Chains A and B, each alone.
Chain A
Amino acid sequence: MDTQTLIYIFVGLSFSLYIGIAIWSRAGSTKEFYVAGGGVNPVVNGMATAADWMSAASFISMAGIIAFSGYDGSVYLMGWTGGYVMLALLLAPYLRKFGQFTVPDFIGTRYYSKTARVVAVICLIFISFTYIAGQMRGVGIVFSRFLDVPITMGVIIGMGIVFFYAVLGGMKGITYTQVAQYCVLIFAYMVPAFFISFLVTGNPIPQLGLGSTVNDGSGLYVLQKLDLVLQDMGFGAYTDGSKSMIDVFCITAALMVGTAGLPHVIVRFFTVPKASDARKSAGWALIFIALLYTTAPAVGAFARINFIETVDQTEYAKAPAWFKNWENNDLIAFYDKNGDGVMQLSSGDAFKGSPSYADTTGTAGQRMVTNPPNEDSTNEVYVDRDIMVLANPEIANLPGWVIALVAAGGLAAALSTAAGLLLVISSSISHDLLKSTFRPQITEKGELLAARIAATAAIVVAGYLGIYPPGWVAQVVAFAFGLAAASLFPAIFMGIFSKSMNKEGAIAGMVSGLVFTFSYIAYFKLVAPDANVAANWLFGISPEGIGVVGMILNFAIAIAVSKMTDSPPVEVRKLIDSIRVPRGAGDAAAH
Chain B
Amino acid sequence: MTDNDPSVPEPNDSGPEPDTETNANEKAYWSENLRLLWSLMAIWFVVSFGAGILFRDFLDQFSLGGYPLGFWFAQQGSIYVFVLLIFYYTWKMKKIERKYDLDD
Pick the residue among A88, A575, A584 that contacts B9 (CB under 8 A). Answer: A575
Return chain A residues, CB-CB under 8 Å to B5: 108-109, 111-114, 116-117, 436
Binary per-residue interface labels of chain B (21-32) against chain A in the complex, 1 for a CB within 8 Å, 0 otherwise: 000001001100
Expressed in whole angstroms, the minimum distance between the Cβ of A206 and any Cβ of chain B is 10
Query: Given contacts A85-B44, A581-B29, is CB(A283)–CB(B83) below 8 Å?
Result: yes
Q: Which residue of A lies closest to B44 (CB)?
A: A85
Q: Bound state CA distance, A289 and B93, in angstroms?
A: 23
Chain A contacts for B1, CB-based, 8 A: 114
Asked if A293 meets B79 with Cβ closer than 8 Å, knowing A210-B66, A279-B86, the reply is: yes
Q: Which of B11, B41, B79 contacts A290 (CB 8 A)?
A: B79
Which listed residue (A81, A85, A109, A212) contacts B66, Cβ 8 A? Answer: A212
Render A270-294 as a binary contact track against B, CB cut-off 8 A, 1 for contact.
0000111001101100110010011
B67-A211 in contact (CB<8A): yes
Q: A286 is contacted by which of B12, B65, B83 (Cβ under 8 Å)? A: B83
From the candidates B44, B49, B71, B93, name the one contacting A71 in the complex (CB within 8 A): B71
Interface presence of B16 (CB below 8 A): no
Q: Known contacts being A248-B53, A276-B93, A279-B93, is A580 close to B7, with CB within 8 Å?
A: no
Whether A580 lies near B26 (C-beta < 8 A) is yes
Question: Shortest distance in angstroms between A268's beta carbon and chain B's nearest beta carbon?
Answer: 15
Q: Which residues of A contact B26 (CB under 8 A)?
A: 577, 580-581
Question: Would B104 and A274 count as touching, CB distance under 8 A?
Answer: yes
B interface, over-half SS: helix
Contact with B along A545-588 (1 / 0, CB 8 A): 00000000000000000000000011110110100111111100
> Which residues of chain B (24-83) have a CB below 8 Å from chain A?
26, 29-30, 33, 37, 40-41, 44, 48-49, 52-54, 56, 60, 64-68, 71-72, 74-76, 78-80, 82-83
What's the least CB distance linking B28 to chain A, in Å?
11
Nearest Cβ distance between residue A547 and chain B, in whole angstroms? 15
CB neighbors of B among A71-86 (8 A): 71, 73-74, 77-78, 81-82, 84-86
Determine whether the beta carbon of B54 is less than 8 Å from that of A249: yes
* Contact partners of A212 in chain B: CB under 8 A: 65-66
A428 sits at the interface (CB 8 A): no
A112 nearest in chain B by CB position: B8
Please name all residues of chain B whose beta carbon is closer than 8 Å to the beta carbon of A283 when the two chains form the complex: 83, 86-87, 90
Determine if A223 is an interface residue (Cβ-Cβ < 8 Å): yes
Chain A residues whose C-beta falls within 8 Å of the C-beta of B29 in the assembled complex:
581
Contact A440 B90, CB 8 Å, known A211-B72, A223-B71, A581-B102: no
Is the beta-carbon distance between A213 and B66 smaller than 8 angstroms?
Answer: yes
Given contacts A82-B48, A239-B71, A252-B48, contact A113 B3 (CB under 8 A): yes
Partner of B104, one of A84, A222, A583: A583
A252-B48, A279-B93, A580-B26 are known contacts. Are A286 and B104 too (CB-CB below 8 A)? Answer: no
Bound form: Cα–Cα A109–B10 in Å:
12
Task: Decide if B11 touches A571 in the complex (CB within 8 Å).
Answer: yes
User: Are B49 and A253 within 8 A (Cβ)?
Assistant: yes
Q: Which residue on B lies nearest to A438, using beta carbons? A: B1
B67 touches A582 (CB 8 A): no
* CA distance in complex: A577, B74 (Å): 38
Q: List 27 A-B contacts (CB under 8 A).
A: A74-B75, A77-B75, A78-B48, A85-B41, A89-B85, A89-B86, A105-B7, A109-B5, A112-B8, A113-B5, A210-B67, A211-B64, A212-B66, A213-B66, A221-B66, A239-B60, A253-B49, A276-B103, A282-B86, A290-B80, A294-B75, A297-B76, A440-B6, A569-B11, A574-B11, A577-B26, A581-B102
